[in-house]
Amino acid sequence: MSGSEESGRVIAGRYRLLDRIGAGAYGTVWRAIDDLLDVSVAVKEVRIPAGESEQASADLITRVEREARAVAKLREHPSVITILDVVRDGDLPWIVMEWVPSTSLAQVLRERGPLGREETARIGLAVLDALVAAHAAGIVHRDVKPANILIGDDNRIVLVDFGVAVLESEPTITNGPIGTLAYMAPEQFHGVRAAPASDVFSLGVTLYYALTGVAPFTRVTDAATVAAVLQEHPPPPARADQVTSTILAMLDKDPLTRITASAARSRLAEATDRSRVRVGAPGAVDRGDESTSPISAAELARYGESRSGRAAGLLLILVSIGASVAPWTAEVFTDLPDWLRVAALFWSVLLGCWAVAFTYLFSRPDFLSIGPAGISYRCVGEDFTLVWEQIRSARVVDDHLEIELADGTQATRYQPRRTPPMPAAGSGLVFCRLTDLRGASAAGIESAIRSAFGARG
């Protein structure tokens, strides 16, 4: 029967079908009314393709019933759809689920394009929560993809369609590659039984697509898609931070070295947790501290180069210019032999180049800027910027600002010279020395960072 003909049909004497809201490889989902309780529900019917053998049909029915058992184990989890009932109608099982007014992530991406970093991280965190719970119960989803992630009207994130899930404690119907090709893990094409690591890879593909708007392995043909999954590595997203590095770790081709669901969840939670950045010794700063006054992007705390630094720079320019023209202004040089004139010319060119360099640096004075987006520092003409998501902690230690990065990267400690921050193994990344900046103080920087976090809300 067509969808319009099915509408109004009552299943098991209780559930009245209203609208068809989705169809997958193994079933069709309807919005329905529970006539007994007068509430909306979602009802999934099995769909058996024409021409299937009796055994294949029985396998599909078994798979749907297994989905009900699998999801029922997770009924208390907010990011997993709740199973309310399983009924038989016309010799086929129907799964009755809670009704979640929502839009699938697939539809959101079609209509809106790529999502922002924070929204992508929020979706990833919710689905990872669901997967960690599922894996702990011995369940592997095997078909994590945008179409199976719902974004509720109340912003709740729900993972649905466990219809091809594997219960690790039970024999599986098939060890073959069941799922959606472009979202399947490489090991599944090698005949390896689906495992929790496979779900992590599938979610990594989903999050990469959500963040960039590019499905990393989708190709024109199935063969090309499988080859891409097995051999190609998607380019890193333009913005490098802990969210993108976590997504790329989820796309590791080797399931043995791929990040686990729990580790990925921890990293995404850390990336979005505003309470981890500490300022000064030993206290912690809550990024959402409402006791501080927010500042706008136009009110960034900004510390310019110290007056002594500016004076030294101006002096170097004047000395360089004077020294470069001196050989051609003094009378003693008028009767010099040619070889000395050549040396004098070389001297003038060299000092002239220094004068140009000092002038350029003088026109780009050092500064430290703190605001809602992050921390920026200019040192000897070079600009260095860190967004807050990259920063685990920021401390003023011995009159210099020392930063620890969220991804574990650190840098060499400040040495007694003005050196830009350089990535290396060692202690915290030292961003700048306070004495190089005009008006900078430990208390002022601490207050500015607190205010910046407050502005981020």
Instruction: Kindly list the catalytic residues.
Output: 143
What is the C-alpha to C-alpha distance for residues 400 and 334, in angstroms, rounded to an integer?
Answer: 52
Question: What tokens appear for 6 in the block?
Answer: 């099915």
- Cβ atoms of 280 and 273 within 8 Å: the answer is no
Q: Which residue has the tokens 């380019």?
A: 235
CB neighbour list of residue 69: distance below 8 Å, 6 or more residues apart: 167
Q: Name the strand (E) or helix (H) holding 229.
A: helix 222-231
Q: Which residue has the tokens 């989803």?
A: 141
Determine the residue type at 275.
S
Comparing C-alpha atoms, which of 206, 185, 394 is closest to residue 287?
Answer: 394
Is 363 in a helix, a strand, or coil? helix
Q: Are strands 157-159 and 166-167 parallel, antiparallel or unpaired?
A: unpaired
Is 41 in a helix, a strand, or coil? strand
Question: What tokens appear for 353 in the block?
Answer: 């180049």
Please spell the DSSP secondary structure of 262-328, one letter per residue.
Answer: HHHHHHHHHHH-TT---BSSS----TT-TTSPP--GGG-EEEEB-HHHHHHHHHHHHHHHHHHHGGG
How far, in Å, are 5, 13, 18 from residue 2 at the CA level? 5, 20, 13
What is the C-alpha to C-alpha distance for residues 299 and 448, in angstroms, rounded to an integer?
Answer: 10
Let me know if 50 is exposed, middle or buried by CB neighbors in 10 A (0-12, 13-18, 19+).
Answer: exposed
Alpha-carbon torsion 90, 94, 100, 102, what sign?
negative
